[in-house]
Amino acid sequence: MPAFLYRKRGIILLVLGIDPGTAICGYGLVDVTGNRMQALHYGAVVTEKDVAPALRLKKIYDALTSVIDEYKPDIMSIEQLFFNRNVTTAIAVGQARGVAMLTAANKGIPVLEFTPIQIKQAVTGTGSAGKEQVTFMVQRLLNIREKPKPDDVADALAIATCGAHMASTLRWQELI
């Protein structure tokens, strides 16, 4: 069993999932104990569009640093950049993704990256699942009664769930 699974309370893994974005950066912490997963904490960093880009990124960095300092996750999982047609959006998401990864690196937290298809497959069993199906399964898998809002938070919890599934099959040395 990987060394990082051992903590004071027994066998446990704490995964921080990030759905990067400069307007809304969703985050979710998933606690794995034995074969049970639960959402420990989740939310979103929301920035105003009229604020300078550097200050928006700083707000994301500061908020994620605070979450990491408080909860001390073992790993971070993050969505890989999906490049569609909107180059401006892709650049902004890439910047937020870079800030999140820098935050993890500064805290010595290994980062796992997943494609949208891998995340959907881990949560729903199919890579072609829609947003509603992913959210539904996140609620069921993590025993969350109300739909996480905004959607970026549900996505972050799905990313954390994917990270929890994958981390349990990897050796610790492969994560760093």
Cα maximum dimension of the chain = 48
Q: Which residues are catalytic?
A: 19, 79, 152
Angle at 28 between CA 77 and CA 155, to 5 degrees: 75
Given a cut of 80, whether residue 83 has pLDDT beyond it is no
Q: Is the dihedral of CA 175, 25, 118, 15 positive or negative?
A: positive
Q: Which residues contact 93 (CB under 8 A, 6 or more apart)?
A: 20, 21, 22, 81
* Residue 159 C-beta-side C-alpha neighbours within 13 Å: 30
pLDDT at 81: 78
Q: Is 108 left (phi over 0), alpha (psi -120 to 50) or beta?
A: left
The model's pTM: 0.89
Write the pLDDT tens digit of every residue in 84-115.
Answer: 667 777 888 899 999 999 999 999 999 999 99
Write the pLDDT tens digit of every residue in 43-82.
Answer: 999 999 999 999 999 999 999 999 999 999 999 999 987 6
For every residue of 149-172, which 3-state class applies, written as one string? CCHHHHHHHHHHHHHHHHHCCCCH
C-alpha 56/C-alpha 96 separation (Å) is: 9
